[in-house]
Chain A
Amino acid sequence: MISVAQSISKRNLKVTVLSGLGIFLLVIGVFSMSQGAFAISLSQSISILLSELGIQLSDFNSQQANVLLQIRLPRILLATLVGGGLGISGAALQGLFRNPLVEPGLIGVSSGSALFAVIFLVFAPTTIALSWIQNLGMPLFAFLGGLIHVVAVYLLGQSSNKTNTNNLILAGVAINALAGALIGLTLFYSDDAAIRSFTFWSLGDLGGATWEKMPTATILIAIPSLLLFSQSKNLNAISLGEQEAFHMGINVPALKVKLLLITALIVGVAVSLTGMIGFVGLVVPHLIRISFGADHKLLLPASFLLGAILLNVADLLARTIAIPAELPIGVITALLGAPFFIYLISNFNSSKN
């Protein structure tokens, strides 16, 4: 795989990979618009989209247009933003911890966000919960939860100024278990509807996508992701080691704070919108790294695109496998991701020995 990367110059590689992934994402997006319980053909979905731009092609009825524009399109956009956000956060966290096994779900960012989102949902007064504050308040509260957890796991994973992988992962497991228990407890003391939403928080669901959620998602996922792109050089440097990064002129403590804040924000917002969706942040950066190398200048944007692709594919499967029912999307990503993770662990150990 590396040899493919070698034969093309670096800049060309970046352009080729990113545009390739971008086109693939577009194709997947358009294709999944035409799939689902309600019949809309591929040509109809394209013409519905184009008619919004004022170009009339083939026939469709207004019900089809409504399903496509009000249900499927926001859902696909949300999958793109959340998947991309999870992919890029995974890449950034792996770089920061210099560990390819790190993932937002694994080190407790996701469960922390979910816990705080549930707490907000259950305990915020309904009058407030109905207003615009919920649209912004819950993501920010989830961000806070994710941040607290990632900082806790990070501190537990440090031993004598070095990040200890075993401690890190064990701390993540402990914090995840605790957060899971607290989520269950919180929901237990709330009403029945909330209990039903437990699946939403633990396995994720894109079904709640509406246009009203898009501004929050766009601003709080896309902008932090752009901020992460600007950190690619620094992430490259810190991949060599914190000591080395300092010697090369990087302000390491400031960089760590910046990266933890941004990734917690992205993951927190993603979780508050779609619940916990595991393994995207783990698998995606890996696939990019194996295929195109470790340079974060390519890794970060490519992880965003591939994360978006993966989540769109997973969502497509989730809502078409058992029509008209829907599988929780986390089931699909875990089915794909868990075997991959097991493979990584076995590989990681053998490469170390």
Chain B
Amino acid sequence: MLAASNIHFCIKQRPIVDQASLSLEAGEVLAILGPNGAGKSTLFKILSGEVSCKHGSVGYNGCPIHNLKSKQLAEIRAVMPQHSQVNFPFTSQEVVELGLVACKTNKPQQLVKEVMELTQTSHLKERVFNQLSGGEKQRVQLARVLVQIWENKPFPRYLLLDEPTSALDIAQQHSVLQIVKELKNRNIGVLLILHDLNLAAQYADRIILLKNGIIAGCGETSEVLQEGILSKVFEHPVTIMIHPITGRKIISTDHFYSNPSKNLKTIQYGNSF
């Protein structure tokens, strides 16, 4: 289990993350949602071990993060930051192989091959990474972080993704999240930051809503995705509908459904011009 309790992190005495606690089990997809500046990225960096936090604790599989060396940590969790730049002409396969740089494994070739097939990047392996499209780059990066924790181990592993779908078109978004969802069967827990509420509704098992560094909502996806709390957290009217075929929740951010009186005003404005 990835467990964090009472995380408190300040920059110049302004709390960025305020008394946040969360947990992530293997085989679970947990999405962190929240408006810009809510502290999602900071919380993410604290969980990944990149930023150390004086107040509160983070632990992987029961071991406090500060007792783990970076090498040990790399065997338990892999992290995909939002933007990764590669300044040198590495091929895609070389980038993916780098995921194993600190891992001991006796079948590196096979692991690389498997994740590249899974992320549909096998045909790109000889191409220079910098010359790929945004979506291809993202899938190669996903393969790189996946290979790090891909091998079956006796302990659960975790994958941390910071907005993995931000640079992708609709089809790519779904294919990436579908891959992420299938990781459940490999004893891997996934934590990801998302901006798209509907993607969260479709793929997350649990959701954490973050607002001003405080956890404003936490629970099963269907519990958290409520009109009232979402409108309040995002300071924007939100309407929830049910998809006629799948029966899943659809989150609409259209003004019309949420606040008829305000909507009427816009129509009136429209007429007056």
Contacts and interface: CB of A to CB of B under 8 A. Distances in A.
Interface in A240-281: 240-241, 243-244, 246-252
Interface stretch (B73-81, B177-185, B254-262): B73-81
B50 A240 contact: no
A239 B81 CA distance: 15
A223 to B, nearest CB: 24
A243 B74 contact: no
A14 interface: no
- Going nearest first, the 7 A-B pairs with the smallest beta carbon separation are A249-B74, A249-B102, A294-B88, A247-B79, A249-B71, A237-B101, A294-B90
A239 B90 contact: yes
Interface residues of B, number: 32
Interface string B80-114: 01001111111100110011011100000000000
Contact of B94 (A241, A250, A252, A295): A295
B131 to A, nearest CB: 10
Interface of B: 48-50, 69-75, 78-79, 81, 84-91, 94-95, 98-99, 101-103, 126, 128, 145, 148
Given A233-B101, A247-B78, A251-B71, 17 more contacts: A2-B128, A98-B88, A239-B86, A240-B84, A241-B85, A243-B81, A244-B81, A246-B49, A246-B50, A247-B74, A247-B79, A248-B74, A248-B101, A249-B73, A250-B102, A289-B88, A290-B89
**A interface SS class:** helix
Interface of A: 2, 6, 95, 98-100, 233-234, 236-237, 239-241, 243-244, 246-252, 289-290, 293-295
B101 A100 contact: no
B96 to A, nearest CB: 11
Given A247-B79, A248-B148, A249-B70, A236 B101 contact: yes
A248 B100 CA distance: 7
Contacts, number: 80
A251 B69 contact: yes
Given A239-B88, A294-B89, A248 B81 contact: no
Contacts of A234: 101
A191 B210 CA distance: 71
Given A2-B128, A240-B95, A243-B50, A250 B101 contact: yes
Contacts of A95: 88
B99 A248 contact: yes
B91 A247 contact: no
A251 B73 CA distance: 11
B48 to A, nearest CB: 7
Nearest to B99: A248
A251 B145 CA distance: 17
